[in-house]
Amino acid sequence: MMEKDVFEPVQLGDLTLANRMVMAPMTRNRADAQGVVTPMMVTYYRQRASAGLIITESVPVSPEAIGYPLTPGIYTEQQVAGWVRLTDAVHAAGGKIFVQLQHCGRISHPSLQPDNATPVAPTPLRPEGQVYTYTGKHDYVTPRELEISEIPKLVAQFKHAAEMARHAGFDGVEVHGANGYIIDQFLRDGSNRRTDAYGGSVQNRMRLLNEVLDAVGTVWPAQRIGVRLTPENRFNSMSDSNPQTHFSYFVEQLSPRGLAYLHVLEGDMTIKDSEVDYRALRSKYSGSYIANNGYDLARAQTAVRSGNADLVAFGTPFLANPDLVRRYREGLPLNEADRTTFYQGGEAGYIDYSFYSGEQA
């Protein structure tokens, strides 16, 4: 039996991917003020279509879901028309692409909300730090507790976005249950202090994710739906009292759903120590598992060959190297990412990274 390799094709549900390298979702703030895809976004994603799978930057499912300026939405016809141009370009270049559906919850600001409304959360706990808005950086505000009667509307927003994603020509959707946004806020007990049916026990804290998956599952078959989790990422003032136990439960519950994949950020984005045994977590999931967080080629090959991952997601390397698959396969040097350009807008640090030997897309 041949040893597994990140460069070999892999089956993901009913999709055949060209390789096991995934372009991770990365917010880049290059949409227009109406949340519509811009021409440079089409170029950016097309340039990176050699990835086995592209997962888009997080995409708000409604006006209330917005947490950052100039992020692309997927709830209006105008937004869908922009995504059609992008998915067509990726497919023409031989790629596959899922859209990451997101609601920021408390990670927002009244100036980013319809009618300057207060952002919502499972519990009115103010995150630390500041949020970027169209008028500069502002302190986060204390969110308003989402009422039980409002939850069906939130779930319906995910369903509507899933419907729009089908019209936009995506190959599937990823439900963003990670990084301190609304679903993650419900999952983790550091941000969820509710005492009703959506708080307290792990069963209750998972209720929102289950309802979103059930709703999205009426639009897409399970094998075209992925889920992203971050058991111990501290980003956005997140914490959990027992991530190993709690996320073991969440993963066990997700396993029978027959999803396209489970996408896990292993550890914390800034602190490399880990309290979670991700091999044990992965063992509880029977489907395809995407590992993410600081992987290079050597670590990725080890993870795939050992069975600890079926696919591996790369963020910054794909950002700076549109031809990352070729560079890794052929042992070519990598471009260095310019972090000062990550969120500033414009083409610099976005679509001007060179292909090897100066070759352009």
DSSP string, 196-227: STTSSSHHHHTHHHHHHHHHHTTTS-GGGEEE
Closest among 73, 29, 7 to 347, alpha carbons compared: 29
Mean pLDDT of 207-220: 98
Query: What's the rounded mean pLDDT across residues 43-47?
Result: 98
Active site residue 132: no
Element (H, E) at 291: strand 289-292
Identify the band that residue 361 occupies on the pLDDT scale cut at 50, 70 and 90. very low
Mean pLDDT in residue range 325-343: 94
pLDDT at res. 271: 64
Coil/strand/helix, residue 73: coil
Compute the mean pLDDT over every residue in the chain, rounded to the nearest whole number.
96
Residue 52, pLDDT above cutoff 70 = yes
Res 320 pLDDT > 60: yes
CB 308, CB 300: distance < 8 Å: no
Q: What percent of the chain has pLDDT over 90?
A: 93
| Residue 68's pLDDT band (cuts 50, 70, 90) | very high
Whether 344 shows a pLDDT value over 90: the answer reads no
At 19, the amino acid letter reads N
Domains in the chain and their CATH numbers?
10-358 (3.20.20.70)
For the chain, the straight-line distance linking the first and the last C-alpha, in angstroms and rounded, comes to: 37
Question: With contact defined as beta carbons under 8 Å apart, do 247 and 265 qualify?
Answer: no
pLDDT digits (tens, 9 = 90+) for 301-317: 999 999 999 999 999 99
What's the count of helices (H) and strands (E) in the chain, helices before strands? 11, 14
pLDDT computed for residue 360 by the predictor: 46
Confidence category of residue 28, pLDDT binned at 50, 70, 90: very high
Place of tokens 């639009």: 219
Percent of the chain with pLDDT over 70: 97
- What pLDDT does 230 receive? 97
Instruction: Read off the pTM.
Output: 0.96
241 pLDDT above the threshold of 60: yes
- Paired residues of 261 in beta bridges: 226
Look-up: residue for tokens 């289950």? 210
**What digits encode the pLDDT tens for the residues 114-146?**
999 999 999 999 999 999 999 999 999 999 999
Catalytic residue among 75, 181, 261, 350: 181
Q: Which of helix, strand or coil describes residue 67?
A: coil
Give the per-residue pLDDT at 358: 53
pLDDT at 2 over 60: no
Whether residue 359 has pLDDT greater than 60? no
